Amino acid sequence: MSIFSAPAPDFPGSAGGPNPGALLGDRVILAAIGLSSLAAIALGLQFVDSVLALTAVVVLGAIAVVAYAVAPGTLASRLVLSFVQVSLVALHIQLARGMLEFHFGVFVTLALLLVYLDWRPIVWAAALFAVHHVVFDRLQAAGVGLYCITTPDLAQVMLHALYVVIQTVLEVILAVKMGRTAQESAELQRLTASLAHGDRIMLDMSHMTVRTPGGRALKEALVRMHETVATVQQAAAGMAVACEEIASGAQDLSVRTEHAAGSLQATSASMEQLTGTVGQTAAASAQANTLAVSAAGVAQRGGEVVGQVVRTMRDINEGSARIADITGVIDSIAFQTNILALNAAVEAARAGEQGRGFAVVATEVRGLAQRSAQAAREISGLISASVQKASQGGQLADDAGRTMAEIVGSVQRVSAMMGEIHTAARDQSSGIAQVNQSVGLLDQMTQQNAALVEESAAAAATLKGQADRLAEAVAVFVLQAQTPR
């Protein structure tokens, strides 16, 4: 932005009314006009030209008063009052007949116009002084009763104009920079003034318009502060809600943990009873296993005895068969003896008296053979019955042997099962002991967890208190301006 495009500074409170800074400049220039008017009257009296002095003072004073009354604090009042002050300095030079000492009023006036912090009144006054000097010098050289310097000298006037231009350029630069500084200061004052919101701090700067770097920097900082405070307020609110939920959850968890601790204690007591019962069961299973092993041994020995009985019955059966064979031989011998006796009786009968004794012997032999045959038949019947019974006994002994073998196998299987039951009972006893130990540790951990839950609940309550204090601390910041109803 160029120097001549810089706007006039905007002071606090200027929106919708006269600019207080410009009003202050108008008052300063009015005071300078008053002093210049008194100086003009004094010069008029000194140089015996009081009519011109009074007339000019009245006219120029009236113009200044009207401008200030009609448009105070505006560019129009600044230009009009600058014109009046320039005119009074020209009046001083005129009344003093061009004395060089009164040309210092030009530089004093240009310096006083810095009070506006606006380059336009300065350039305007410099232009008026330049026109005055050139025109009045030329009219003075033409013999008109007007004075610029004591004697007309265009070169000297141009030298004066050069100094005026130099001062004007410097003052314009100063006015622009001072105006920008004043404008930035005014914006900063407006921003800081807008922060006050009763006993709270307003951070909503969306309605504020800024144009200077300082104002933009402060507004951006306030916007970031607005976002930060908003985030802190949201976080504090969320923290408070979370703390309430944590406290509520911790309370519920504490109740459930107490219930779990009670249940674990009851479970621990039950597990102790179960451990004792399982121990007794393991001992009983060990005794049963011992008895089963003994029974298996007895059954095995019984099986061996039955086997021996079976073998003996088989031997008896075989002996009975051989006896039957022997009785058959005896029966055959008796039959043959009977035949022989019969033949001997026949031969004795043929022999007559000579064979009678032989016949008697033959008869006796025949009777003996018959009785032997009868006895052999009876023995054969008894032997047959014995053989049949021995055969049945052998079959029963075989059945008993097979049954005993099955009993031995069953007892051995029962013994093996009892061994497995004993092993399982022992393992179960060991496992239940470990479970009982684990339940005890879990009971301790549950009690510790209950204590930790209580500590967590206390910590959550403390954290909620801190969140409430944080929310109360940031509540002093107003994040959104209330729309007036």
3 state SS for 110-144: HHHHHHHCCHHHHHHHHHHHHHHHHHHHHHHHCCC
For residues 346 and 359, the answer to whether their CB atoms sit within 8 Å is no
pLDDT in tens, 296-320: 677 677 777 767 776 777 777 777 7
Q: Quick one: pLDDT at residue 194? A: 67
Q: Quick one: pLDDT at residue 1? A: 45
From 425, 409, 410, select the one nearest 286 (Cα to Cα): 425
From 78, 87, 103, 77, select the one nearest 36 (Cα to Cα): 87
Please give the Cα distance from 39 to 32 (Å, whole number). Answer: 10
What's the average model confidence in pLDDT over 397-422? 75
pLDDT over 80 (residue 125): yes
pLDDT in tens, 330-356: 777 877 887 887 787 777 777 777 766
Please give the Cα distance from 421 to 288 (Å, whole number). Answer: 10
For residues 93 and 102, the answer to whether their CB atoms sit within 8 Å is yes
pLDDT over 80 (residue 418): no
List the structure tokens of 181: 């500084």
In sequence order, what are the residues at sequence separation of 6 or more whose Cβ sits closer than 8 angstroms to the Cβ of residue 212? 180, 183, 184, 187
pLDDT in tens, 176-219: 888 788 777 777 777 676 666 666 666 666 666 766 776 667 76
Distances (CA, A) of 128 to 20, 85, 160, 209, 458: 26, 11, 13, 36, 83
End-to-end CA distance of the chain: 41
- How do beta strands 200-202 and 477-478 pair? parallel
List the structure tokens of 293: 């092993």
- How do beta strands 196-197 and 200-202 pair? antiparallel
Place of tokens 């674990």: 264
3-7, 50-54, 349-353 — which is least confidently predicted?
Answer: 3-7
Collapse the DSSP code of 354 into the 3-class scheme (helix H, G, I; strand E, B; otherwise coil) and give the result: coil
pLDDT over 80 (residue 61): yes
CA atoms within 13 A on the CB side of 287: 5
In sequence order, what are the residues at sequence separation of 6 or more whose Cβ sits closer than 8 angstroms to the Cβ of residue 273? none
Please give the Cα distance from 411 to 161 (Å, whole number). Answer: 143
What's the average model confidence in pLDDT over 381-390? 74
pLDDT in tens, 139-183: 988 888 888 888 888 888 898 889 889 999 998 999 888 878 877
Residue with more model confidence, 178 or 1:
178
Q: Quick one: pLDDT at residue 484? A: 45
Q: Quick one: pLDDT at residue 14? A: 42
Mean pLDDT across the chain, nearest whole number?
78
What's the average model confidence in pLDDT over 71-88? 93
Domains and CATH numbers, the chain: 3-189 (no CATH), 232-474 (1.10.287.950)
Highest mean predicted confidence (pLDDT) among 151-155, 327-331, 404-408, 456-460: 151-155
Q: Which long-range contacts (CB under 8 A, 24 or more apart) does 130-135 make?
A: 130/161, 130/164, 130/165, 132/86, 132/90, 133/157, 133/160, 133/161, 134/161
For residues 255 and 247, the answer to whether their CB atoms sit within 8 Å is no
Please give the Cα distance from 112 to 115 (Å, whole number). Answer: 6
Q: Quick one: pLDDT at residue 17? A: 47
**Helix/strand/coil percent split, the chain, to 5:** 85, 0, 15
Residue with more model confidence, 332 or 77:
77
For residues 481 and 195, the answer to whether their CB atoms sit within 8 Å is no
In the structure, what pLDDT confidence band is assigned to residue 13 with cuts at 50, 70 and 90? very low
20-29, 75-84, 190-199, 265-274 — which is least confidently predicted?
Answer: 190-199
What's the average model confidence in pLDDT over 281-310? 73
The strand order across the sheet containing 196-197 reads 196-197, 200-202, 477-478
